[in-house]
Structure 1
Amino acid sequence: MQNWIPKRHAMRKPPAGKFPRRHLALAASTLIALGLTLLLLPGENAEAKRTAIPLDLELTPSRISESVSAPEEPPVAIEQSWKEIPVENGDSLSAIFSRANLTPQDLHELLSSSSKAKELNKIKPGQKLSFKISDNGQLDAMSFQVDKLNSIIFERGVTGFTTTKMTETPEIRQRVASATITSSLYRAAQDAGVSQGIIMELANIFGGVLDFVYDVRKDDFFIVIYEELYLNGELLSSGQILAAQYFNRGKSFEAYRYINKQGEVDYFSEAGESMRKAFLRAPLDFTRISSGFNPKRLHPVFKTVRPHRGVDYAAPRGTPVYAAGDGRVAAAGYSKANGNYVFIKHGEAYMTKYLHLHKRAVSKGDRVRQRETIGWVGSTGYATGPHLHYEFLLNGVHRNPATIVKQLPAPKKVAAGAMPEFKAQIAGMQLQLRTYAAQRNYTGTGAG
């Protein structure tokens, strides 16, 4: 007999998408457990990242921030550098621009930019040019060092190059130097470390009262106070002489630099008398007299007695010859006897003559100032060797140049109304000269 189950008791298939509640709860628990397991168990990539971290790294906020890649910053513009090119012997602007990899067009554009650019045509060895050139080879700027204190800057603008003059201000220091004469002023001053420019200026200041050929004697003594110019601790050059004192044959000569209310600069004695006389005692520096004024001299070339109406100063060829006083050139030329010559008229009464010059620096009609170079020592004409023949005429009559200056008009003086100001201005220099002479124990008859 078949077993049978009534239809109402047969198993029913659940409708699609529906499960008993307990089945759903079981499935949900299983999925949650599986998810947690996957989260807690590290994968391969996670393990790789973990092992890449150093063991001693402290994960402080600052260190963590370092490990994060920062956004890229825009590139910083690199400032152009200057290329310096010194001026060498025989250099030209075109050669220097070529060494700077610039074209003739660059040079033309710069030279035509302003009148200041014309100064570039005067470049000398030892000066410097500096260039700022862009990446595409264009000249953006140039600096021309005129000297250690002055430069001219050319910068490219919208319409061409602009020009700026730059001037450094040097530090001014005072220096005191002194020396005892053993052979010549030049050698003594050189041994004391005095520059050639100061030596020449010292001779110029005392040139109206001392003849450094005739008057200088062994054991003469001098003191000079002058300026020196420094830039960044480096000595650039000597400046002005502020005061000087020269002891000669027991006499003392003092000179002080004085600036009056009109801004005029000159040197005066402590009594206010100008050191600049009408005529120099000698028209050149540091020589010896080879032949003096002598109406009965035996001529060295013709070996006959002929008057020597001047003074012969033996000096190396090329030594500068100065105008003995202010005046106008009355004659300048060449003759068989005189060689190259210059005659200067000083007012109506005086004339000076300069013979046997190597070259002349002036022409007839030129105005000249005292101590202006009018030529150079030579041996042209009837001359046995390089020397200057110098003559001095008063009202057409030859006079001895070594003695006539003592008979000339007195030099100018500081005005009476300006004497208090003059005294006040030189007081400090007077004290320095006195103090220094006392320290050297100099009495005026010899150096201590």
Structure 2
Amino acid sequence: MQKQRNNPRLLGAMGKHFPRTHALAAGAASFALALTLFVSTPEVEAKRTSLEVSLTLPEEAVQQIQEEATAAAIDAPQSVMEGLRVVQETVRNGDTLSDLFQRAGISSAEMYQLLSSGKEAKQLAKLVPGEELTFQIDGEGSLQTLELHRDRLSKVEFSRNSSDEYKYALHQREAERYTAFREAKIESSLFVDGTKAGLSNNLIMEMADIFGSDIDFALDIRKGDRFSVIFDEKFLDGEKIGNGAIQAVTFTNQGKTFSAVRYTDSNGDTNYYTPDGKSMRKAFIRTPVDIGRISSHFNPRRLHPIFKTRRPHNGTDYAAPRGTPVYSAGDGRVIKAGYSKANGNYVFIQHGERYITRYLHLNKRKVKRGQRVKQRQVIGTVGATGYATGPHLHYEFLVDGHHRNPATIVRKLPKAKAIAKSEMARFQTQTQPLIAQLERFEQPALAQNAEEKDSVN
């Protein structure tokens, strides 16, 4: 029996079936046991080796080794201690839950039992590529637990109980949040200089959204414009995992500075406002695309590029890459969505009683006739369908049935409601510290900008 216990082949085979932590725990336990026997019977060991051995080891050291071995065994993953097999799978493009169960070696019957365990299990039918699943399976091939890792902050767990039923549990962690500040001067473009300043594409798009009613980012941006922004950075276990929302931001465009601050009112609704409580959100945004340039302006006497005749150009053309998202300029209802030889794929939206916006030459439509839409909801993507010489969006704005210049009409339309008087004290308590913090961050940058101007003069 002693030979079999110390057989190297047997130990090697055991190592293949146990994780490293368990191998270390078992090794430590074996070493502690052997050492205890060795210390407690030195005479027997000396006779066996025909050597006179005198070995003394403090009892405290022996006790410490034994305690560490016991602790290592206790800390070992429960799944292995109970004889469970652990399989981890990552959701790939095109994967179904059946594919994942098959790769894990679990029968379809087990899968259907889990799916029928309750309404919470239905979410397993909607998996996203990149999500991770951890299966724990017993020796008979029965699923004991399934963990779905939606992201690093949330985990869904289904565990089989003694009644052979699955129990649902949601585990969530809170990320640590830290305030971050970025500022930049526009030298090339908003995206290029924003990226150099350390902003993600999502934050740049969010900033463009905040000022979308005041600044036309396809037409108004100039070299020398500046922005400063405060936002949250999210960390988990010392590692950055993402960004939170913009808290306060300023943008200086052609010498005029716009400021906005994020506020959640007493009803739980969150929006952006000027420091004095006016809404940043107008009834309509300035441009229905974030990326692009104006390739053709509103012009009642334009020479048509295809037919070479004088035909009114009743809208604004935004040249942009095919597939660029197109947003609804305001809240409304889709009154037409279809295809025609001239317009290609198109969407018409009614906003209240007086206003209609039109979107032509779309690559794809994302909405249907009769559908209600919100401001900045994606209604389609830029394309070159119909009479179009290249990928672009043709955008029209009608007031009481008459075409108006989309680039200028929005400035004349009313904004959304400002902060109510009853809410103003609460608004100031929340937002004034953010404005003060942004001003403190901006002071060094403003001082440097002033020095640059003085040196030039």
TM-score of Structure 1 vs Structure 2, range by shorter chain: 0.7 to 0.9
Kindly indicate whether residue 190 of structure 2 is the aligned counterpart of residue 185 of structure 1: yes
Unpaired stretches in structure 2, ≥5 consecutive residues: 1-42, 64-72, 75-79
SS of 1:440's equivalent in the other structure is helix
Letter in 1 for 2:81: I
CA deviation digits over 1:260-304, x for unaligned, max 9?
111111100012110001110111102100000111110001001
Q: 1:148 to 1:49 in 2, by over 3 A?
A: closer
Q: Distance in 2 between matches of 1:48 and 1:291?
A: 100
Distance change >3 Å, CA 313–CA 55, structure 1 → 2? same
Q: Does 1:229 align with 2:234?
A: yes
2:215 corresponds to 1:207: no
Change (3 A) 1:322 1:59: closer
Residue in 1 that maps onto 2:279? 274
Match of 2:383 in 1: 378
The residue that corresponds to 1:98 in the other structure is: 102
Instruction: Choose which of 78, 81, 100 in structure 2 pairs with 1:78.
Output: 81
**Structure 2 counterpart of 1:371, which letter?**
R
> 1:302 matched to which residue of 2?
307
Q: Is the 8 A contact 1:335 1:381 kept in 2?
A: yes
Secondary structure in 2 matching 1:434: helix
Q: Distance in 2 between matches of 1:444 and 1:272?
A: 29
Q: Which moved more, 1:392-401 or 1:438-447?
A: 438-447
Greater shift, 203-212 or 83-92, is seen at 83-92
1:147 corresponds in structure 2 to 151
Is contact 2:280-2:415 (8 Å) kept?
no
Distance 2:373 2:408 in 1: 23
**Residue aligning to 2:111:** 107
The question of 1:441 aligning with 2:449 is answered: no
What's 1:129 paired with?
133
The structure in which a higher percent of residues are helix is 2
Cα separation, 2, equivalents of 1:48 and 1:223: 80
Structure 1: stretches of 5+ with no match in the other structure:
1-46, 67-74
Which residue of the partner structure matches residue 179 of structure 2? 174
Paired residues of 1:361 and 1:373 also in contact (CA < 8 A): yes
Distance 1:254 1:223 in 2: 9
Aligned mates of 2:322, 2:424 — CA distance in 1: 45
Q: Secondary structure at the match of 1:82?
A: strand
Considering only aligned residues, what root-mean-square deviation do their CA atoms show, in Å? 2.6
Q: Deviations over 1:127-154 (max 9, x none)?
A: 1111111223222111111222111111
Contact 1:220-1:446 within 8 A present in 2 as well: no
Deviations 1:203-238 (A, max 9, x none): 110001111012111010101111122221222221
Q: Is the 8 A contact 1:221 1:446 kept in 2?
A: no
Q: Which aligned pairs between 1:308-387 and structure 2 lie closer than 5 A? A: 308-387=313-392
The Cα of 1:195 is off from its aligned counterpart by 1.1
Q: For the Cα contact (< 8 Å) 1:246–1:253, is it kept in 2? A: yes
Cα shift at 1:354: 0.6
Alpha-carbon distance in structure 2 between the residues aligned to 1:427 and 1:377: 40
Decide whether aligned partners of structure 1 residues 393 and 143 sit closer, same or farther in structure 2, where only a CA change above 3 A counts.
same
Q: Tell me, in whole angstroms, the C-alpha distance in 2 between the residues paired with 1:335 and 1:324.
A: 22
Cα pair distance change 1:385/1:447, threshold 3 Å:
farther
Distance in structure 2 (CA, Å) of the matches to 1:48 and 1:273: 91
Q: Is the 8 A contact 1:180 1:447 kept in 2?
A: no
> Does structure 2 retain, via aligned residues, the 8 Å contact 1:197–1:238?
no
Counterpart amino acid of residue 356 in structure 1:
H
Identify if the C-alpha distance between structure 1 residues 267 and 59 changes in structure 2 by more than 3 Å, giving closer, same or farther. Answer: closer
Matches within 5 A, 1:393-432: 393-432=398-437
Shift of 1:385: 0.5
Separation in structure 2 between the aligned mates of residue 268 and residue 97 of structure 1, nearest angstrom: 50
